[in-house]
Structure 1
Amino acid sequence: MEKKAFVNSDGDFLIMPEKGRLDIQTEMGKLMVRPGEMVVVQSGLKFKVSLPDGPSRGYVREIYAAHFELPELGPLGATGLADMRDFEHPIAGFDIDRTNWEIVYKITGQLLHANRITPLLMLSDGLEITCHHADPSSLALLTARSKVPGTPLVDICVIGPHWDVMDGYGPPYFHRNSACELITFVTVPSSGTFRPAFESGIVNYQTVFAPHGPLAAEHKTAVEEKLGPTYNYDGFIIEPSSPLLFTEFARKSPKFKEHDVALWKGLEPTFMKHVDQVNARLKAAGLPLLVQGN
C-alpha cells in the first residue's frame, strides 16, 4: 500500500496474521503485528499496511453495529480474562507528506476512491482552528437510543433563529463525526458570519466519518469581516449513526449535486507553518525529525 490508505466506515476490523508481519500505520500511530497477535482497527480510521516479510496471510473479521471491547471480568476475577495491560497501543506519530495519496473508502459495502495529501497527518484531519462555534449536538431536541451505549440511533437538532455574539472564528471547525449530518435551512440569513452554501429547502449531506468544514470563501469572510452580534439561521440537523442511501429518483434529479472539492482549494493546515519550530524542538530532545514530502 504505497501512497495508499483504506478506511472502513461500515465496521471494525479484527486482523490476525498467520504468516508474515503486518506493519500497520493509522492516524493514531504505528503498530507491528506479528503472527500469533491480533489487531483491531476501528471503523472510520484511515490506515495503510506494509509487509516487511513479504507476502502475508491470515484472518480478518469485520463486525457492524458495535465495537470490539474487553469482556467484563465478573466473578472470574482479575486474571480470568484478558486485561488492559495485555494489549498494546500505537505511539503517536506525525506524517506530513504533501504528495498525492489514494484513499479507498468502504461505505455501505461500496468501495469509493479519492485523492488527497497524506491521510495520516496527526493532530487533525484538516485545519487547526480556534473557534467559538457551539457543537450542534447541544441543540438536540429529540433522540432515539440504539443498542450501543453512548451512540444514538438518530439525533434531531433544531436551530431556531437566534443572535450569535462571538469574539473569535465563526464557522464550525473542520471535523468528522461518527454520525452522518443531514442539514437543511428553513430560512437563510441575509447577512452573518456563517453563510450556507445552499438555499433554504435544499438538503446538504455529509456521510459518516467524512471530514468536512467551511468552504474557502466562508473561511476568508469569517477571518476578514468585523465581528459582532449577528442574527443567524433557522434550520435543523438530522444526525443518524448509520449512512443514508439516496433513491434513484433523488440521484437522477437535475438538482442533485456533489460537492466540488475545488471549493476548499487554498486551505492549508496551520500546523505546516510550524514544522521548522517542531523540528528544532525534536532535534534538541534527540528525537527523529519530521520529514516533509515534496
Structure 2
Amino acid sequence: FAGQGYMSGFGNECSSEDPRCPGSLPEGQKKNQHYSSCVPQNNPQVCPYGLYAEQLSGSAFTCPRPANKRSWLYRILPSVKHKPFTQIPCGDLTENWDDVEPDPNQIRWLPFTIPKTTDTKVDFVAGLHTICGAGDSKSRNGISIHVFTCNSSMVDRCFNNSDGDFLIVPQQGELLITTEFGKMMVEPNEICVIQQGMRFSVDVFGETRGYLLEVYGAHFELPDLGPIGANGLANPRDFLCPVACYEERTVPTGYTVINKYQGKLFSCRQDFSPFNVVAWHGNYTPYKYNLKNFMVINCVAFDHADPSIFTVLTAKSTRPGVAIADFVIFPPRWGVADHTFRPPYYHRNCMSEFMGLIKGHYEAKEEGFQPGGASLHSVMTPHGPDVDCFEKNTSAELKPERVAEGTMAFMFESSFSMAVTKWGLETCQKLDKSYYQCWEPLRSHFNPNWKPSKQ
C-alpha cells in the first residue's frame, strides 16, 4: 500500500490518485490529451496505465444534481471478475424482526462481551450481532442496529453491503479500514461511514468493540441548520475521505468477498485483491469524522433544549422533518441555564431512541449505563433521569459548570418502531433486568398547599 492521507469534503466532488502512478486520473475529454507512456499512444479508448474504468452509483441516474451520488474508479481489474456468489451462514446478523415477541419495556444492556483471542479468532464480520431494527432491505426502507465485538483482522476477505449504509462507531480499539478508495484509521471518539456497495476490510489491534447503524434506502447527510445560520454542529470541512492507495496482489488461494444482500450473507472468490483502485474521482466516498470537532449549540438562558440540537448526521425519510435515523451525540459542554432542571427531562417520544456510551459517565444515569453497553427506549415508552440524577439536580446550585466532561454518549434515533432480536434479549446474556429499578425510588413531592414565593 502507498502512504496514508486524507482529503476534506462531505458530499463534494473529490479526486485522488496514488502517487506511484502520476497521471492515472484522466483529465477529461481534451484534444491531443497526453497519457502516460504505459498507454498506447493516440488511443483515447484506453485509460492511463491500461486501467479499467468502473462507476459506483449511490443514487438513481436521474436524481436531482444535489442528490446525485457517484464515483469513478480506475482499477487494475474490474470488480465483475469473480466466481459466483453462494450463500453462507449469517451468524447473529439478521433482518428477521419476528423471532421474539415485542417488548415495550425500557431495555438496557451491560457492556457487550468481547471474545478473547485465546479462545477463538473473531474478525469484524464474524463479530457482527444485530440488536434491533425495523423495515425491510428489499423495499429499501428500514434500519438495523448492530454491535461488533472482535479480536482479529480480516485476512484476504472483504465486506460489501448491498443493502444500505454503515455508520461505524468504535468504542474500544482502533480500526484500520481499507476501502476501494484508500485507508482510514478510525479511533474511539471518531466515526466513519461506509456507503452502500463499497468494499472494505477491517484490521484491529486487539480486543475491539463498537456500534453500527445501518440504514436502507437513504444516505447520511448533514442536518439543515435553519435559524442557526451558516456555522454550527458538524462542519463539512471536518469530514475526511481517503486518498487512493492501490494494492496489486494476486491471491492464488482465493480472496473472499462477502456480500450482504437482502439481509443474508453471500460469498464469492477471486484471485486478486479488490483494493486495486489506482485513482478515483466523484462525490460518493467513504468518510470519517472526529466527534471533538462538533460545534455545540446549547441553552444559555433557561429550559432544556431538545436533543436534535446535537445531530451530527441524518438519514431523511420522505416525510419532511422526520428521519429514518439521526446520529446524535452528547459531547462535553457548558451548562449555564437558569431557573430550570438542567438534565434531560422525563419523556415519551414517537421516535425510538437507542443510546450507547463510548467513554465516561452519562449525566442522566451515571452508574448503570456503562461504556460498551446500550439502552433502548421504544416508541412512547417513558424514560428519563434516574432518581439520583433527579435528586441531585433539583437541589444543586445553578452556576456555570462543565457537563459531560470526559464523556461521549450518543443516540441512534429513528422514526421506526424497532424490534429487538433474540440475540439482544437472550443470547448475548447482557440484558440488565434490573434497569427499571433506577426509577423505583422516585417519590411524590406534591404539596397541595404550595404557594409561590414572592419575588
Pairwise TM-score range, normalised by the shorter structure: 0.3 to 0.5
Higher percent of residues as helix: 1
Compute the TM-score of the two structures, normalised by the length of structure 1: 0.44
Structure (1 or 2) with the larger CA radius of gyration: 2
